[in-house]
Amino acid sequence: MKITDIKLGMLRVPLKTPFKTALRTVEAVEDIVVCIHTDTGHVGYGEAPATAVITGDTHGSIVEAIRKFIAPRLIGQEVANLNRITQLIQEALEKNTSAKAAVEIAVYDLFGQLYGAPLYKMLGGGDPVITTDITISVDYIDKMVADSISAVERGFESLKIKVGKDIGVDVERVKAIYAAVEGRALLRLDANQGWTAKQAVHAITLLEDAGVRLELVEQPVKAQDLDGMKYVTERVHTPIMADESVFGPTEVIELIRMRAADIINIKLMKTGGLSNAVRIADIAALYGMECMIGCMLESSISVAAAVHLAVAKANAITRVDLDGPSLCAFNPVDGGVIFNESEISVTDAPGLGIREIRGLEPLPY
């Protein structure tokens, strides 16, 4: 099975409700889709969102990186040579992790198709059913409480609460939500780099003293402030998770060396795809550090790849935050992973199992 062509498209899927964080507000998934064609007629699919405030990738930069730097290296390559192909992708240019991730996901999809096995089995196997949390966007307190109660009634047992805009209001938001769902759902806080180290310690301590039990607090400080992250981790009882502070394996090693956080959030758009995500999970497992698998605002194309990884690396990936498809107004993908509210299940279809993507707008080459 040889790669013969790489085509790109734009996928637009409205969200059920606007997605609000301390950094941005988004009303629709608008992602670049990669379709890798082969001489056997098989097609592999990948996807990348524009997340300029996190990875630095825009739609334009993703398209340019793939067309001018990555795609020319892959034409004619044998899909069976997976390690060589992933190396070609990673060395094609610096950074541009989302563009690399989209292409890698499509290649891994083809790798599974080549051997007639679902991707999670190619990565080591596992139980093909996992459970995700759901994100509660930053909003008025009453709205966030209502959204949280609605999520619990739909079967979600873990809620990811977005905070980081106003520390005083943040504390009150969390107290109100905790009072409304206590005993029915675990709370995960995502500050999206919205606090200083001292503010984070102050806010988390206030919540702890008020009897609020949080499963974790994600990225309370700026991405580059590992010393600040360490400061927070050492001074609170609540586990601290690094997200934007950790993109690749070398940053994971440094974070572990510093003991700067308790948990690592793996996202394929940060790692540049599955090859580095696998390395991170293995490094974390070696040092006994737990991981979460997360996503950006992505559809069920690239989130499917994250699901397969989570199943295969369940020894390290103990928490799942793959609610992107649940936030979409509809699922544009036929086949693939099955998203049913909090439960995500994987079929035994080869690769990612995607048969068709509806509404894909081809991009001119």
What are the φ and ψ backbone dihedral angles of 11, each rounded to 5 degrees?
Answer: -115, 125
Catalytic residue, chosen from 100, 162, 230, 270, is: 162
Question: Do the annotations mark residue 243 as ligand-binding?
Answer: yes
What are the φ and ψ backbone dihedral angles of 186, each rounded to 5 degrees?
Answer: -85, 145
Question: Do the annotations mark residue 319 as ligand-binding?
Answer: no
Take residue 287 and report the two structure tokens written for it. 């040092």
Residue 100 annotated among the catalytic residues of the structure: no
Question: Do the annotations mark residue 218 as ligand-binding?
Answer: yes
Residue 268: name the closest of 301, 243, 302, 238 by CA: 302
Take residue 341 and report the two structure tokens written for it. 């509210």
The helix or strand, by DSSP H or E, that contains position 158, with its residue range, turns out to be strand 158-162
In Å, how far are 59, 106, 302, 311, 337 from 32, measured between CA atoms?
Answer: 7, 12, 11, 25, 19
Catalytic residue, chosen from 20, 100, 230, 267, is: 267
Question: Do the annotations mark residue 190 as ligand-binding?
Answer: yes
Alpha-carbon gap, residue 151 to 149, rounded angstroms: 5
Contact 240, 272 (CB under 8 A): no
Question: Do the annotations mark residue 295 as ligand-binding?
Answer: yes
SS3 (DSSP) at 247: coil
Contacts of 322 (CB under 8 A, 6+ apart): 130, 132, 293, 294, 295, 303, 306, 307, 310, 344
Alpha-carbon gap, residue 87 to 144, rounded angstroms: 44
Q: What share of the chain is helix, strand, coil (3-state, %, to 5)?
A: 40, 25, 35
Residue 162 annotated among the catalytic residues of the structure: yes
Question: Do the annotations mark residue 297 as ligand-binding?
Answer: yes
Contacts of 340 (CB under 8 A, 6+ apart): none
* Binding residue numbers for Mg(2+): 190, 218, 243
* Binding residue numbers for substrate: 24, 135, 160, 295, 297, 321, 323
* Binding residue numbers: 24, 135, 160, 190, 218, 243, 295, 297, 321, 323
Q: Which residues are designated catalytic?
A: 162, 267
